[in-house]
Chain A
Amino acid sequence: MIENELRYSPQNKPLAGYDFTSYNAPLFIAWQLNSACNLDCLHCCEEAGEPLPNELTKEEIDTFCQEIVQLQIPYVAISGGEPLLHPDFFAICEFFRSHGISLKAETNGHLIDRQVAKQMAKLGFRSIQISVDGATAQTFEKMRGHGNLQKTLQACQYLTEAGVNTEIVFVPTKFNIHETSRLIDMAYQMGIYGFYTGKIMQVGRAAQNWEILCPSPQDYQKFFVTLEEKAALYDGQMKIYYYPYDVIEELKYRLESPAASLLIIPNGKAKLIGPLPFVCGDLRQHSLAEIWSRYQKAWRHPEVVTFTNNVITNNDLLKEANHWRELSLA
Chain B
Amino acid sequence: MEFEKNVKIRREKFGTVIFQTLCEKVFVTNQTGSAILQMIEEEKDLDNIVAELAQNFESDFEIVAKDVTEFIMELKENQIIRGVAE
A residues apposed to B, CB below 8 Å: 1-10, 13, 15-18, 22-25, 27-28, 72, 74-75, 100-102, 126, 239, 260
Seed contacts A6-B28, A17-B12; 5 additional CB < 8 Å A-B pairs: A5-B28, A9-B33, A15-B30, A17-B13, A17-B15
Determine the distance from Cα of A10 to Cα of B63 in the docked complex, in whole angstroms: 9
Which of A1, A24, A75 meets B8, CB within 8 Å? A75
Chain B residues, Cβ within 8 Å of A72: 10
In the complex, the answer to whether A10 meets B28 with C-beta atoms within 8 Å is no
Determine the distance from Cα of A9 to Cα of B70 in the docked complex, in whole angstroms: 11
Which of B13, B28, B59, B78 meets A18, CB within 8 Å? B28
B46: interface (CB < 8 Å) = no
In the complex, the answer to whether B78 meets A4 with C-beta atoms within 8 Å is yes
Using A74-B10, A102-B6 as known contacts, say yes or no to A6 and B18 having CB atoms under 8 A apart.
yes
- Smallest Cβ distance from A200 to chain B, in angstroms? 21
In the complex, the answer to whether B30 meets A8 with C-beta atoms within 8 Å is yes
Which of B15, B17, B63, B74 meets A27, CB within 8 Å? B17
In the complex, the answer to whether A10 meets B32 with C-beta atoms within 8 Å is yes
Determine the distance from Cα of A172 to Cα of B30 in the docked complex, in whole angstroms: 41
Determine the distance from Cα of A100 to Cα of B23 in the docked complex, in whole angstroms: 17
Interface pairs A-B: 10 shortest CB-CB: A17-B14, A74-B8, A16-B14, A8-B33, A102-B21, A6-B27, A8-B71, A75-B21, A17-B28, A74-B19
Interface range, B side: 20 to 34
In the complex, the answer to whether A16 meets B15 with C-beta atoms within 8 Å is yes
| Nearest chain B residue, comparing its CB with the CB of A17 | B14
Determine the distance from Cα of A75 to Cα of B78 in the docked complex, in whole angstroms: 18
In the complex, the answer to whether B75 meets A6 with C-beta atoms within 8 Å is yes
Residues from 48 to 81 in B contacting A, C-beta threshold 8 Å? 57, 59, 63-64, 67, 71, 74-75, 78, 80
Which of A8, A101, A239 meets B29, CB within 8 Å? A8
- Could you show 11 A-B contacts with beta carbons less than 8 Å apart? A5-B28, A7-B33, A8-B29, A8-B30, A8-B71, A15-B29, A17-B14, A24-B13, A74-B10, A74-B21, A101-B8
B residues apposed to A, CB below 8 Å: 6, 8-10, 12-15, 17-19, 21-30, 32-33, 36, 57, 59, 63-64, 67, 71, 74-75, 78, 80
Using A17-B13, A22-B13, A27-B17 as known contacts, say yes or no to A3 and B22 having CB atoms under 8 A apart.
no
Chain B residues, Cβ within 8 Å of A5: 27-28
- Smallest Cβ distance from B15 to chain A, in angstroms? 6
In the complex, the answer to whether A4 meets B71 with C-beta atoms within 8 Å is no
Chain A residues, Cβ within 8 Å of B71: 6-8
Chain A residues, Cβ within 8 Å of B75: 6
Chain B residues, Cβ within 8 Å of A3: 25-26
Determine the distance from Cα of A9 to Cα of B28 in the docked complex, in whole angstroms: 11
| Nearest chain B residue, comparing its CB with the CB of A1 | B24
In the complex, the answer to whether A23 meets B17 with C-beta atoms within 8 Å is yes
In the complex, the answer to whether B21 meets A6 with C-beta atoms within 8 Å is no
Determine the distance from Cα of A126 to Cα of B57 in the docked complex, in whole angstroms: 38
- Smallest Cβ distance from A302 to chain B, in angstroms? 28
Which of B10, B12, B25, B63 meets A4, CB within 8 Å? B25
Chain A residues, Cβ within 8 Å of B67: 8, 10
In the complex, the answer to whether A17 meets B17 with C-beta atoms within 8 Å is yes
Chain B residues, Cβ within 8 Å of A126: 6, 21-22
